[in-house]
Amino acid sequence: MHTWQRIASLLPLVLTQGILAQSPLVVFQNGQVADANAVNDNFKQLQLQTIRMQRPAFRSVGARTIGIPASPARPGSVAIGETPLYFTQQIVVDLDTTGLGGLDIGTVQPRTLYYTYVGFGASGPPSVSATVSLNPPTQGPASLGTQWTYLGSFATDNAANLAPFTFSKGRYLNAATSGNISAVTSASIVSIPLPVPAHATEVYARFALIGTGGAPPYTFSVGATSSVAEDIIRFESSTSLAFGGSLAAEYVSLPLVEGPLLYVRVSSPVLTGFVEPRGWTEDPTLFK
């Protein structure tokens, strides 16, 4: 910080030699004076931190293609290491290709989690490129070395294609069935693994109950832990279900307490409960 005395001492030099070009000052409304270079550095750090926290959204744009939207009117931005980069055209990743702009290594697989990263382009001035990898963000993609930023994750369906999806602000939402469905017929609590990232904090799923007879009420209990007291939702009916009858499906967001698991049971073995994850919540800012 500069004092007013320091400013007074610099004034002759300012008038005769333009020293402010070498030692610029900023005067704030409250009378404080600061070195403009330090202010500029602080602003750059704040800008970099803001870009890190507001990572670009991405979405499916084809059966095996994702896009990171951008346009001249709404440019995208990403921080890679200490470098903020901006882009004005959509960045496309084709899962049928390998390397930058495609799958990190190998070929796309059905019912598989993939992780999206951005990094520097292969050559020329700094630019943004993207890749998709089997490697989670604790590991990072092979094709980008150490210079990458994690955006988020998605999953393929039974045919190794992409059901229409969006990933924005840490949330993946799938607009159609992916075939990742678990069936439950146990009247005792059982755990079911979920096709979501290990670091996911919440799952968004479709729950349905189908009956083949038996007496009401019919319940489908779902919990975030193995404790009976932790049941989160219950499906109940006071009328009999004919053979093959079903209760209305419900879409519910549930917290993930013990990793990518839910604990479920049905009230009778003549019932079948179905769990179909359609999305999840994660925090990409926990990673690079």
DSSP secondary structure letters along 147-210: -EEEEEEEE--TTS-PPSEEEETTEEEESS--S--EEE--SS-EEEE-SS-TT--EEEEEEEEE
pLDDT tens column, 156-214: 998 999 989 999 999 999 987 766 788 888 888 899 999 999 999 999 998 888 776 66
**Of 140, 170, 200, which closes a domain?**
170
With contact defined as beta carbons under 8 Å apart, do 165 and 60 qualify? yes
* 95, 68: one domain: yes
The list of the chain residues with pLDDT below 70 reads 1-49, 122-126, 178-179, 212-215, 228-249
* 70, 42: one domain: no
**Of 12, 31, 52, which closes a domain?**
52
pLDDT of residue 142: 83
Is the residue at 231 inside a domain?
yes
For residues 111 and 91, what is the distance between their CA atoms, to the nearest angstrom? 24
> Burial code of 208-236, b = ≥16 C-beta within 10 A, e = fewer?
bbbbeeeeeebbbbbbbbeeeeebeeebe
pLDDT of residue 17: 43
Total domains in the chain come to 3
What are the two backbone dihedrals, phi and then psi, of residue 131, each rounded to the nearest 5 degrees? -150, 160
- Closest CA relative to residue 205, chosen from 160, 271, 155, 269: 155
* 135, 88: one domain: yes
pLDDT of residue 62: 95
pLDDT of residue 268: 81
Is the residue at 177 inside a domain?
no
pLDDT of residue 21: 44
pLDDT of residue 263: 92
* 230, 269: one domain: yes
For residues 177 and 209, what is the distance between their CA atoms, to the nearest angstrom? 17
Cβ atoms within 10 A of the Cβ of 166, count? 15
* 278, 201: one domain: yes
* 78, 101: one domain: yes
* 151, 137: one domain: yes
* 79, 103: one domain: yes
* 257, 243: one domain: yes
Domain region containing 233:
182-284
* 93, 17: one domain: no
Q: In which element (H, E) is residue 26 found?
A: strand 25-27
The domain that holds 194 is classified in CATH as 2.60.120
**Is this model's pTM higher than 0.85 or not?**
no
Tally of CA atoms within 13 A in the half-sphere of 165 that contains its CB: 27
- Cα–Cα–Cα angle for 190, 191, 195, nearest 5°? 145
